[in-house]
Amino acid sequence: MVQDRYETTLRDGTPVLIRAVVPQDKPLLMDGFGRLSEASRFRRFMSGVTQLSEEQLRYLTEIDYTNHFAWAAVRADRPAEGMGVARYVRLPDEPDVAEAAVTVVDEYQGKGLGTLLMGLLAVAARAAGIRKFRAYALVENEPMVTLLEELGARAHVDEPGVVRMDVPLDPEILPDSPAGKVLKAMAKRVLTPVVKPFPGTPPYGVPRVQVSDAPPSPGD
Ligand SMILES: CC(C)(COP(=O)(O)OP(=O)(O)OC[C@H]1O[C@@H](n2cnc3c(N)ncnc32)[C@H](O)[C@@H]1OP(=O)(O)O)[C@@H](O)C(=O)NCCC(=O)NCCS
């Protein structure tokens, strides 16, 4: 079955629905941001941002799904409760590279959601012709650095305290780490059908993603 949303359970059984972000998600994002700890907000935005402005909310939700794409993870049993977001933004001067970022609300961290969101983000990115993710993380951000290293990222120190990590989105060269295995499994099942996006697919022309089978858990 072809679908542009994905429903599964996290390691602890929490039901999650992952779907493309839409313009109506401004309250969802605001609420999710409000439930992030100060440390998570600092790690994501690398500054002491305390709330999202109208302009930021527009930028984060009114996206074109090709050069700027974002998945939202919500509780499948409480769809108004955001759990996390993953987005990529294509670099204008390197069109096969996109900057990627992922955020999981603190109470849902460490349950595999970040890995899952990153995997689905890679699927959407490949469908849009992106071959590499670039992510910036604080050197002390062990969860993000580990997650990206497990996907074969190479780290370069960009400026003091910040690492730039490049992740090639090639299923053939993904490492045999738990996160690499999840992505490889997703790639095998979903990449081929979405390499050519279906034009004009609702909502908002989002490339459809075939994710009918749950990926194996990282231990598989
Ligand atoms: C980075 C982040 C998205 C990871 O999300 P998550 O759902 O917790 O990630 P996962 O559960 O999929 O874990 C991925 C891997 O990260 C590592 N990891 C997760 N939590 C960790 C922790 N507290 N300490 C060290 N490593 C950790 C593990 O290796 C883990 O793999 P494993 O579960 O197979 O051991 C999340 O911590 C977050 O939102 N942080 C705040 C925002 C941020 O830093 N964003 C990144 C900037 S772009």
pLDDT in tens, 120-172: 898 899 889 999 999 999 999 999 999 898 888 888 887 899 999 999 988 77
Q: Identify whether 177 is part of a domain.
A: yes
CA distance 31 to 100: 22
Contacts 24+ apart (CB under 8 A), 194-200: 194/123, 194/124, 194/126, 194/127, 195/126, 195/127, 196/127, 197/127, 197/128
Q: What is the pLDDT of residue 188?
A: 62
CA distance 133 to 88: 8
Per the structure, the count of domains in the chain is 1
| CATH code of residue 108 | 3.40.630.30
Q: Identify whether 121 is part of a domain.
A: yes
Q: What is the pLDDT of residue 14?
A: 94
Give me 196's structure tokens: 């050519």
Tokens 């977001």 map to which residue?
A: 85
Q: Identify whether 102 is part of a domain.
A: yes
* Centroid of ligand 1 to alpha carbon of 200 (angstroms): 34
**The model's pTM:** 0.85
Q: Identify whether 209 is part of a domain.
A: no
Q: What is the pLDDT of residue 181?
A: 73
Q: What is the pLDDT of residue 171?
A: 75
Q: Identify whether 174 is part of a domain.
A: yes
- Helices 113-127 and 178-186 meet at what angle, rounded to 10? 40
Q: What is the pLDDT of residue 189?
A: 57
Q: Identify whether 126 is part of a domain.
A: yes
Q: What is the pLDDT of residue 170?
A: 81
* Centroid of ligand 1 to alpha carbon of 57 (angstroms): 24
* Centroid of ligand 1 to alpha carbon of 198 (angstroms): 32
Q: Identify whether 212 is part of a domain.
A: no
Cα 110 to chain centroid, rounded: 15
Q: How do the pLDDT tens digits run along the chain, 220 residues long?
A: 334 788 888 989 999 999 999 999 999 999 999 999 999 999 999 888 899 999 999 999 999 999 999 999 999 999 999 999 999 999 999 999 999 999 999 999 999 999 889 988 988 998 899 999 999 999 999 999 998 988 888 888 878 999 999 999 887 777 777 667 767 766 665 433 333 333 333 333 344 443 333 333 333 3
Q: What is the pLDDT of residue 178?
A: 66
Q: What is the pLDDT of residue 165?
A: 95
Coil vs helix vs strand at 74:
strand
Cα 204 to chain centroid, rounded: 19
> Residues 6 or more apart from 94 whose CB is under 8 A from it?
none
Pocket residues: Cβ below 6 A from ligand 1:
40, 43-44, 101-104, 109-115, 135, 137, 141-144, 146-147, 178, 218
Contacts 24+ apart (CB under 8 A), 68-72: 69/20, 69/121, 69/124, 69/125, 69/128, 69/206, 70/20, 70/21, 71/18, 71/19, 71/20, 71/21, 71/117, 71/120, 71/121, 71/124, 72/18, 72/19, 72/20, 72/21, 72/25, 72/28, 72/29
* Centroid of ligand 1 to alpha carbon of 147 (angstroms): 6
Q: What is the pLDDT of residue 186?
A: 66
Tokens 């749950």 map to which residue?
A: 214
Give the ligand 1 atom nearest the CA of 179: 34
Task: Fill in the amino acid letter for 72.
Answer: A
Which residue range is the domain that position 35 belongs to?
Answer: 5-194
The residue whose CB lies within 8 Å of the most ligand 1 atoms, and thus the one to mutate among 47, 104, 176, is 104
Q: What is the pLDDT of residue 187?
A: 61
